[in-house]
Structure 1
Amino acid sequence: MSDDKTLHIAVIGSGGAAMAAALKAAERGARITLIERGTIGGTCVNVGCVPSKILIRAAHIVHLRRESPFDEGVSAQQAPKIDRAKLLHQQQSRVEELRDAKYEGILRDHAAITVLSGEARFVDANNVVVKLTAGGEQTVRFDRAFIGTGARPAELPLPGLAETPYLTSTNALALDTVPERLIVIGASVVALELAQAFARLGSRVTVLARSRLLSQEDPAVGETVEAAFHREGIEVLTQTQASRVDHTGHEFIVDTNAGTLRADQLLVATGRTPNTEALNLASIGVETARGAILVDEQLQTTVPGIYAAGDCTDQPQFVYVAAAGGSRAAVNMTGGSASLDLSAMPAVIFTDPQVATVGLTQAEALKQGFSVETRVLDLENVPRALVNFDTLGFIKLVAERDSGRLLGVQVVAGEAGELIQTAVMALRAHLTVQEIGDELFPYLTMVEGLKLCAQTFTKDVTQLSCCAG
């Protein structure tokens, strides 16, 4: 314990995990020293979720003004004019507002939290040395420590790439112009979200997928997103790998097994790397795997008293997982007992159509030894999709064969992200597909598709009236 008998916790980082840990620990009576080497707020608000979703929404509006399912009866007066510089200003203004409201302002006014600007390095299990941004060093002694340093875009070991001015997701979001031609290397969440957004803003986009789109998901998910991309003129090259990149001063030249490609900008989005290498973790016994800190169910590292959560750990990289982990770690650091249950963890990809999932895929359920039964409901059978004149997508339910208990849900639909939480609650409550099919769902909502898909386990929904119970 510190001299004043108040538990002192060093929190390294200031993003979703770190802020949740600091605030919860302070609420439970601890004194906090929060150490941040860069911008307060971490990835999500500054260079991740918030700016990317603003960009995606703006691109969606552009897309609808160019083309919609109702163009036969609703004519567009003129093609939209895009001022990317003004869109960027709007985007960054909202980022700054949220950063101040949700991070900087809270820290400024919190008596129990002291903020140090600088880079932390562990000396032992009770001390960190902070290389202060303003110069000099300061040693911080702590009773407990929490690491929430997040992650950054991974560097791809591709010949020639490091010598070029390629884009990562961070600086792609800060572009004040729309490139005429854009190559995207990557086929997962960030790559696909930004590929479609820039295509809708006017770029001619080519996506290079080493295997297929969204290879970690049910194969039908990637196939449906690929179909949506083709419909919008986005070129998708699957089973395609770059072997070299060059930059001539005015264009990128990318050699691949599918030929040589040229573009004005190159975006590399092939994953994220934990920000842990500067912390001196190995010397104090904190174990990592490929840079990611290993934590147990209580969010404790391999060193007692040192906890971690978020993208710098081996947990799934979602800000809500980070915040939940930080909060539970704070409970455990202050004498309580809490664990992080990820058995019903939702995930959303903000392409159009959106992808939303929770629980097990069919392949994962089989691998875990379940005997499963599945149903896939195409959106042609969902009234909301029919009246939207937008039926590309599906809902898939994975259930345990004998009991009918829901094991997982995969959705590709325009509003998939808005319906998935209902599936989360059903999974958490151990509902069966029979029980889901018997529930009341509001008519002409996309979430009604969950009920309809559940009903297909026992009946032919094409033979039901519109809102049959």
Structure 2
Amino acid sequence: MQSVSIAIIGSGSAAFACAIKAVDRGAQVTLVEDAKVIGGTCVNVGCVPSKILIRAAQLAEQQRRPPFTGIQSHEPQIDRALLIRQQSDRVEELRQAKYQNILDENPNITLLRGRARFCDARTLSVRSSDGTEQTLRADKFLIASGAQPTLPSINGLAETPYWTSDDAVFAEDAPQHLLVIGASVVAVELAQAYRRLGSEVTVLARHTLLRNEDPLLGEELTRVFEGEGIRVLEQTEASRVTHKEGEFILETNSGEIHGDRLLVATGRNPNTSGLNLDGIGVEIGPGGVVRVNDALRTSIPHIFAAGDCSDMPQFVYVAAAAGTRAAINMTGGNARLDTSTMPAVIFTDPQVATVGMSEQDARLCGIETDSRVLTLENVPRALANFDTRGFIKLVVEAGGQRLLGVQILAHEGGEVIQSAALALRNRMTVEQLADQLFPYLTMAEGLKLCAQTFAGDVKRLSCCAG
């Protein structure tokens, strides 16, 4: 069988997952990348550096406000330059280990530097930084060009030295007062991190925090934020931004707001505008997102897409799974990507973790639901931690009691949600979940306790009652 040639636009998680699987199945792969470094968003400016920053901020907060009375609190001494140096070193280490080493060790993967554009459905034009161009023909293509921060349409904003998340995760200076425009994942994660690292923080939410999630998650997270001194302005939009003598001035419907730094975190748009997708007939959606089916095929069968430029959920693990499945399908296989039981985590503290349907989702699908909310003072691990902020919510199908979705706000909620995802994947009922053995004094035991509330009052159970 003749080797399949595959051209991949991008060098992030989706691109490398596809390349690795494709060469394992006998293909020849060329990656086309115009960024200075390989690896895409996650390792360079997203998941890895942001989670390092968030963890450092969490440890600082534990020094400032330990939950145990026998541990003396004190204001942490924070050296931002040292933190950023350590963070950057780890990013470079992971980029080398997970991306560059793969290129160096695999002769069947070639990296071509330059900006790609489709000439036709079988040919790419690649323009290098010195202006020279070359063409690249392939049997199959993967569009894995990623996404970039969105800039909202606010008068004056583009003329100011605002931050995107790319800037905020590596900033060595600590703002006195950070203003955050946005109320979703990146906005809430970085808002809390900067507050814990010593900045005053104000969040401008056009609606409420985490508007696209179950409303209880946003309500409770807002309570947590306000308890930490973060000012949350709901139903607030900026109409104009100016920057004078080191100060940002935001004109909003809630009045004039001042701060020395401004973070704009209102989402990300796909990097597809220069690819000529319209010209070759690839179907795109709002904002230039590439439409794909569950086999990762676009409207042109030999062209695939994966990662943040596609209409799949914007999570790195989805991107990698999509890239792998695309490679299988490019090389004669038949793989599908099912995201119906995809867990998601927002790395605030407590963490927001979800899987499956919310009550609102089920209602839109015409499914009648039942649900229970267990507050964390009913979870022994949370009591032992002296941190009972948050809840666990189970949504089930009325009648049959099959689990439909789980929403969690809890310390280490991201570690708990995978158990819930497996329960959904196996179509468990709450009775079956309640009958499972969970280790005592784990946060995951909260899933069992919440399941037990469908049949009775867990306050009337003894410790670790089965």
The aligned counterpart of 1:98 is 94
Q: Answer with 5-14 or 356-365: which moved more.
A: 5-14
The aligned counterpart of 2:371 is 374
Q: Deviations over 1:287-308 (max 9, x none)?
A: 1112100001110011120000
Aligned partners of 2:245, 2:62: CA distance in 1, in Å? 35
Aligned partners of 2:26, 2:399: CA distance in 1, in Å? 49
Query: How far apart are residue 111 of structure 1 and its match?
Result: 1.2
2:114 partner SS? strand
The aligned counterpart of 1:295 is 292
The aligned counterpart of 1:261 is 257
The aligned counterpart of 2:440 is 443
Do structure 1's residue 181 and structure 2's residue 183 form an aligned pair?
Answer: no
Q: Answer with 195-204 or 5-14: which moved more.
A: 5-14
The aligned counterpart of 2:16 is 19
Aligned partners of 2:171, 2:75: CA distance in 1, in Å? 22
The aligned counterpart of 1:46 is 44
Q: Answer with 125-134 or 340-349: which moved more.
A: 125-134
The aligned counterpart of 1:172 is 168
Aligned partners of 1:435, 1:338: CA distance in 2, in Å? 30
1:228 partner SS? helix
Amino acid at match of 1:280: N
The aligned counterpart of 2:120 is 124
Note if contact 2:292-2:299 (Cα within 8 Å) is conserved in structure 1.
Answer: yes
Amino acid at match of 1:126: R
Number of aligned pairs?
464
Do structure 1's residue 387 and structure 2's residue 368 form an aligned pair?
Answer: no
Amino acid at match of 2:60: V
Query: How far apart are residue 459 of structure 1 and its match?
Result: 1.0
Q: Deviations over 1:314-341 (max 9, x none)?
A: 1110000011111101111111101110
Do structure 1's residue 114 and structure 2's residue 110 form an aligned pair?
Answer: yes
Aligned partners of 2:131, 2:84: CA distance in 1, in Å? 33
Do structure 1's residue 223 and structure 2's residue 219 form an aligned pair?
Answer: yes
Q: Deviations over 1:374-424 (max 9, x none)?
A: 010000100001111111100000001111110000000011000000000
1:92 partner SS? helix
The aligned counterpart of 2:26 is 29
Aligned partners of 1:434, 1:222: CA distance in 2, in Å? 28
The aligned counterpart of 1:360 is 357
Note if contact 2:66-2:72 (Cα within 8 Å) is conserved in structure 1.
Answer: no
Q: Alignment partner for residue 75 of structure 1, among 72, 76, 85?
A: 72
Aligned partners of 2:128, 2:156: CA distance in 1, in Å? 35
Query: How far apart are residue 134 of structure 1 and its match?
Result: 4.8
Aligned partners of 1:25, 1:117: CA distance in 2, in Å? 20
The aligned counterpart of 2:420 is 423
The aligned counterpart of 2:150 is 154
Aligned partners of 2:12, 2:130: CA distance in 1, in Å? 21
2:269 partner SS? strand
The aligned counterpart of 1:66 is 64
Question: What are the within-5 Å matches in structure 2 for residues 292-371 of structure 1?
Answer: 292-371=289-368
Aligned partners of 1:129, 1:441: CA distance in 2, in Å? 56
Do structure 1's residue 465 and structure 2's residue 462 form an aligned pair?
Answer: yes
Do structure 1's residue 194 and structure 2's residue 173 form an aligned pair?
Answer: no
Give the alignment's TM-score, normalised by structure 2: 0.99
Aligned partners of 1:33, 1:271: CA distance in 2, in Å? 30
Query: How far apart are residue 249 of structure 1 and its match?
Result: 3.1
The aligned counterpart of 1:233 is 229
Unaligned runs of 5+ in 1: none
Q: Deviations over 1:211-231 (max 9, x none)?
A: 100000111100111011011
1:325 partner SS? helix
Amino acid at match of 1:55: L
Aligned partners of 2:70, 2:17: CA distance in 1, in Å? 49
Aligned partners of 1:75, 1:371: CA distance in 2, in Å? 50
Which 4+ runs in 1 deviate beyond 3 A?
A: none
Aligned partners of 1:113, 1:383: CA distance in 2, in Å? 51
Percent identity over paired residues: 60
Q: Alignment partner for residue 270 of structure 2, among 251, 271, 274?
A: 274
Amino acid at match of 1:80: P
2:211 partner SS? coil
Aligned partners of 1:28, 1:150: CA distance in 2, in Å? 25
Aligned partners of 1:168, 1:79: CA distance in 2, in Å? 28
The aligned counterpart of 2:199 is 203
1:301 partner SS? coil
The aligned counterpart of 2:397 is 400
1:177 partner SS? coil
Aligned partners of 2:375, 2:62: CA distance in 1, in Å? 23
Query: How far apart are residue 371 of structure 1 and its match?
Result: 1.6
Query: How far apart are residue 135 of structure 1 and its match?
Result: 4.3
Query: How far apart are residue 133 of structure 1 and its match?
Result: 3.1
Q: Deviations over 1:113-137 (max 9, x none)?
A: 0110111100111110101235411
1:293 partner SS? coil
Q: Answer with 366-375 or 185-194: which moved more.
A: 366-375
Note if contact 2:22-2:327 (Cα within 8 Å) is conserved in structure 1.
Answer: yes
Amino acid at match of 1:48: G
Q: Deviations over 1:153-185 (max 9, x none)?
A: 001110000000100000111211110111000
